[in-house]
Structures are given as structure tokens and as C-alpha cells.
Structure 1
Amino acid sequence: MAATQTAPYKRRSLFLIGLLIVLLSVVSSAAVYFYLDSRGANAEPTTADEPAAEPPVPIFVPIAPFTVNLQSDYGDRLLYVGLSLRVNDQATSDFLSQHMPEVRSRLLMLLSGKSAAELIKPAGKIELKREILGLFDEPITTPQPTLSIDDVLFSDFIVQ
């Protein structure tokens, strides 16, 4: 008779455990939903009335391609390179265009001191970009406006 009296208690306790598991699942799901929803509410609201901000139009100063003799221990090595300079303002673009012979001369002097072995490697090209940007640290004329050059972009680069 004792076994029959404990059976309803077992059923009731199993029912309560199942109900507790379902209740905890619902509460945790609701908590996760509200947590994620509150994180999304903190983000800046975007409205359809405001047009998306357009990125500034980049200004490029192209430098005509040219060929340079490279330093080499065995035979003649050549570099054919075309590049452009990305600048921040029109004043820098105009200044570089007016002084393009000086810019090309500085580039030729820099490139003629390079070896083919160093320019073939990607790290050599990155170093060359840094050195080209460094050419503009020294003033071209006196007085010179502040030049705002962001990047050097290679359009042609052939080492032969």
C-alpha cells in the first residue's frame, strides 16, 4: 500500500520538475530577447529622411609612366613604373602639377638607386611607397604650401 501512495507523489514531482524546466526556458528566452533588443536600441537610428553621407571624391595626381635603369651586379635591369599620388586637396594637386618635372626628377633619382631584387618582393614595394612619400618631406620650392599626400598608387610596375 505504501508503493501506491508514493506513485502520485512521484508523478506530481515529475510534473512540477517538467513545469519548472518549461518555465525557466520561457523566462531565459524572454531575457535574451529583451537583452538583444536593448542592445539594438542603443545603436544610432537611421532615418530615411537623411541622405547617406557621400564619401569625398578622391583627387589623384597621375605621373606618366617612365623607365629607370636599376642597380644590378649582372647585366642591365630596368623598371617600368607608372604611378599616381592620392592627395587631400586641390591646392596640393595644383602645386604638384606645376612642379611635375621636379617631382619626376626626384622619383628617377630614388628609383635608380634601387635593385631589382628588392623591388620584386611585396615588402620592397611597400618600402618604396614609404620612400616616395618621404620625398615630399623636403620642400620643392621656398616657400612651399603644406602638401597633403595620402598614398602612392602603382598603375604599372614591371621589373625586367
Structure 2
Amino acid sequence: MAEEKKPGKSSRVIILIIAIVVLLIVGAGGTWWFVLRPATVPTPAQIAKERLRDTKFIDLGSLVTNLQSSDGSTHYIQVQIQLKTYNAVVETSVKSFMPEIRNGILMLLSAQNADKVSEPAVRDQLLQEIKQQVNKTLETDGGVQKVPLTEKNPPIADVYFASFVVQ
């Protein structure tokens, strides 16, 4: 003989199962909302404000070297260089590699011609070459590439002359 099931008991089980499923869905949604949901994308104004706050200038001091001369006389250049970065950790790296950075810059400066180095276009080109030299030094360790070279976010964002004297 077949046993008769009570109609009230099976409906209670179904209601209980539905309630548990609903609670699990609500719990998962709440977890996603408060913990796992993606952060809002910062606005360009927020990015600019953050970069301004993180801007750091690093002074390389004064550098003096002789220049190439076509007239046979001795010419000198004295510059003071400032490096601009948006990463505070870069300052420590610059200090660690200071002799190598200064040597690279001095080599670039001493290769310049005394007659042309005072032209604005040559100065701009020299700033770009110094920036590339410093970034290459910071992104390599003893000539071995540590990280891929990127133009998008280099360690040094810009280079400035704080003083520029040719004699």
C-alpha cells in the first residue's frame, strides 16, 4: 500500500528551499556590491589632482664639462638639471644610480658643439636626449633590462635646465 503524504509538509519544504535560495542570491549580491564591484573610474580632474600631488622634482646638481669647438679655443658648459617624476620611489633610484646618470649626461654634454648648443632647438633636443639617457639608466640595472621600456609611463616624465651657461 502506498503511503499518503501530507500536503502541508511538502509545501513547507518547497517554501524553505525557495527562502534559502533567495537568501543566497541576496547574500551574493550584497557581497558583490560592497566588496567585489569594480571601483568607479576616476575623472580626468581627479587624475590631474593626484598627479599634481605626486609630482616630485629631483635636483642633479651642477654639471660642468668642456664642449667641442671648431675655432680651436676651449669652451665650457655649466648646467643645473632638474628631473620631474610622478613616483616618489624614483628619487631613491636616482640617488642609487647618480654616478651613472651624471656620467651619461656629461657624455651627452661634452659631445655638443659650442657654436650650436645655445640654439633653442638644440637645447630642446638635448633635454630629450637627457631624459632618454636617465630613463634608460633607471630602467636597466648594469645594462640588463629589468622591465620593458615604456613610453607611456617612464620613471622620469620630464627634464628641465635650472641654469644653462656656455663660456
Interval of TM-score (by shorter of Structure 1 and Structure 2)? 0.5 to 0.7
Structure 1 gaps, min length 5:
1-52
Q: 2:118 aligns with which of 117, 120, 128?
A: 120
Q: Indicate the residue corresponding to 2:41 in structure 1.
A: none
Query: What SS is found at the alignment partner of 1:95?
Result: helix
In the alignment, does 2:67 pair up with 1:70?
Answer: yes
* Structural mapping, 1:6-155, within 5 Å: 55-74=52-71, 75-135=73-133, 136-137=135-136, 139-141=139-141, 142=144, 144=146, 147-155=154-162
Q: Which segments of 5 or more consecutive residues in structure 2 lack a partner in the other structure?
A: 1-48
- Determine the C-alpha separation between the residues in 2 that align with 1:140 and 1:106: 13
Q: Report if the CA contact (8 A) 1:82-1:154 is conserved.
A: yes
TM-score, scaled to structure 2: 0.59
TM-score by length of 1: 0.61
Indicate conservation of the 8 Å contact 1:82/1:157, yes or no: yes
Q: Match of 2:29?
A: none
String of CA shifts for 1:61-84, please: whole Å, max 9, x gaps: 110102110000120010001011
Cα root mean square deviation, aligned? 1.9
* 1:110 maps to amino acid: L
Q: CA deviation at 1:151?
A: 0.7
Q: 1:66 to 1:107 in 2, by over 3 A?
A: same
In the alignment, is the contact (CA less than 8 A) between 2:54 and 2:88 conserved in 1? no
Aligned mates of 1:134, 1:143 — CA distance in 2: 14
Pairs aligned (count)? 108
Shift of 1:92: 1.5
Q: CA deviation at 1:144?
A: 3.8
Question: What percent of counterpart residues are identical?
Answer: 28
Provide closer, same or farther for how the CA distance between residues 140 and 117 of structure 1 changes in structure 2, counting only shifts above 3 A. farther
Specify whether residues 70 and 110 from structure 1 end up closer, same or farther in structure 2 by C-alpha distance, changes over 3 A only: same
Give distance in 1, aligned partners of 2:91 and 2:110: 25
Q: What is the alpha-carbon distance in structure 1 between the residues aligned to residue 125 and residue 145 of structure 2?
A: 29
Separation of aligned partners in 2, 1:117 and 1:129: 17
State the alpha-carbon separation in 1 of the partners of residues 54 and 112 from structure 2.
Answer: 34
